[in-house]
Amino acid sequence: MDKSLKLASSIAAALMLSACNSSSDGPVEDGGSAMRPPVVSDSEVVNKWFEPAADRVNAIKASQTAYPMTAKNIILFIGDGMGLTTHTAGRIYAAQSAYNKGEYEGFEGGEEFQTSFEQFPHFALSKTYASNGQTPDSGSTMSAIMSGVKINKYALNVSDEVQIRDCVDLEGKGLLTAMDLANLAKMSTGVVTNTRVTHATPAGTYASISLRDVEDDTNGAKCEGTYDIAEQLVHYQNKFKDGFQGVQTDLESGIDVVLGGGARSFFPDGEGGRRRDGQNLVETWKDLTGGSFVADKYDLEDVTQTPVFGLFNFTHMEYEVDREVRGDEPSLIDMTEKAIELLQAHDNENGFFLVIEGGRIDQAHHAGWGNMALAEYEMFIEAVQRATDMVNLDETMVLVTADHSHTDSISGNVKRGNPIAGLAYDVEGEVRLANDGLPFTTRHYANSDIGGQGGALDGNSRADLSNVDTEKLTFKQPAAVKANGGGETHAGEDVGIWATGAGSSHVRGVLEQNSIFHIINKVGQLEQKASQQL
């Protein structure tokens, strides 16, 4: 039989096998079909793999034309540091966690689980390198997503002519962002994060500066006569008064909803902050906007209209496990729900643009806490689910992506259902041992601040993990190399983009990261709507 006939025979056999309701243990009878599938003991074993896969492909095909090509509203989720390995491990962690709580009945090990956004019909890869870096930072990556061009590492929304810490006139070098265009288009807007609102990713929506560290007048080399990042946020509604990027106009308001941490950059030293210039920027914001300032989850629950500015921690907000102990911080899920509720309440005919960052995934990785990163990922996927449930996808595009990845890996030839936060077990259920005779975890970092402690891959100095709680959230995952000058680093591989709703079919292929801006701009018609308002 030639190759083409063998292939046809195999396909036909597979299709017939998936369709049959029972199987025969007997031989093929004379006169039976030559295309009869091979004998199996239980066709349901095959069907559980075959039919769901076929259903998934059919659903994706049906969705290609299910939504309009343009969107009134856009929600952009950024899982900071959520590389594809983190996403894979997070999927398994979420399933295993749900099973342990008695909340996942279909559990087969966790690998089969689908997260909220894995069920989106459209997917692409995003190339994350910076203008001057193979491995990027959040400043360069978020600027690419927001401005449509790649820039140098550690800057925010300035052209790559501008070098780090350059105190130059940004005239002609500052970049318009998708958030700027949305505000110029008189859309309702919001930024939500569980990091500081002045941190690189949220700041990438509104700020232009040569060094992302200049969050206030104490952090980094502030250029004379310029606004630091906190000042840029508070004075955002005046951004175009002097003709930024050739656009001279008065915005009716600033960003309508801003929720996150980072109070330290908005209050004077000794008054709940660390500013040395004595400014109380929260009072300035209230005077400029007439909006409501909130400092805990109870105040946030009571807010019914915008603008609203929430600062819930001196610095970054707590990890989810610690937030529950503290008790007064809203979760990322809480903030997501409230932001959408408030923006929808506007009933703005021009729609809304909302950016939501799950930022502590990244920070857990930097600390070497791989399990904590997965716990934060678990909350992130729930926030995406809540948002998707709250909107009309016929008029809203929901995008989920990451700014960059990390150096975590899953390895070890482990069994199906291996505890993703634990030691490596082989397919027979035995603990796998390394060449030094000691067990190892199924997840490792390429580098971290501990290097050889607890997990070097080269030599006999590794700690014996036999009696160590490797599933503890603050367990530091083993690493091959000790990072120089801090914690675990970013990695440079592509990250995912998942999309659903109106205009989501634009997300496909392998894209430069700055293409995300152009998708948002095209689908939301931001430039067009902004031009109509000017």
| Contact predicate 181/532, CB 8 Å | no
d(CA 219, CA 35): 72
Distance (Å, rounded) from C-alpha 32 to C-alpha 22?
Answer: 16
Give, as one character, the DSSP assignment of residue 80.
T
Site of tokens 């009134």: 72
Torsion over CA: 44, 46, 51, 56 (sign): positive
Dihedral of CA atoms 144, 148, 151, 156 in degrees, nearest 10, equals -70
Cα 514 from Cα 446, distance rounded (Å): 27
Cβ(322)–Cβ(311) under 8 Å?
Answer: no
CA–CA distances in Å: residue 318 to residues 96, 193, 194, 405, 472: 23, 11, 8, 21, 17
Helix (H, G, I), strand (E, B) or coil at 371: helix
How wide is the angle at C-alpha 346 spanned by C-alphas 341 and 347, nearest 5°? Answer: 100
> What values do phi and psi take at 33, rounded to 5?
-65, 135
The closest alpha carbon to 307, from 198, 233, 392, belongs to: 233
Strand pairing class (490-491; 352-358)? unpaired
Pairwise CA distance, residues 76 & 353, whole Å: 8
E strands of 377-519, at which residues? Answer: 396-401, 405-406, 408-410, 443-448, 479-482, 490-491, 495-501, 509-512
What does the DSSP assignment read for 283-333? HHHHHHH--EEE-SHHHHHH--SS-EEEE-SSSSPPPHHHHHHH-SSPPHH
Which of 86, 312, 55 has the alpha carbon at shortest distance from 193? 312
Q: Which amino acid, residue 276?
A: R
97 is catalytic: no
Residue type present at position 169: D
- Other C-beta atoms closer than 10 Å to the C-beta of 52 total 12
How far is residue 105 CA from its own chain's centroid?
27
Q: Are the CB atoms for 263 and 313 separated by under 8 Å?
A: yes
Which listed residue (43, 116, 126, 138) is catalytic? 138
User: What does the alpha-carbon distance between residue 418 and residue 440 come to, in Å, rounded to a whole number?
Assistant: 12
* Among candidate residues 428, 408, 402, the one with its CA nearest the CA of residue 420: 408
Element (DSSP H or E) covering residue 8: helix 3-19
Residues identified as active-site: 138
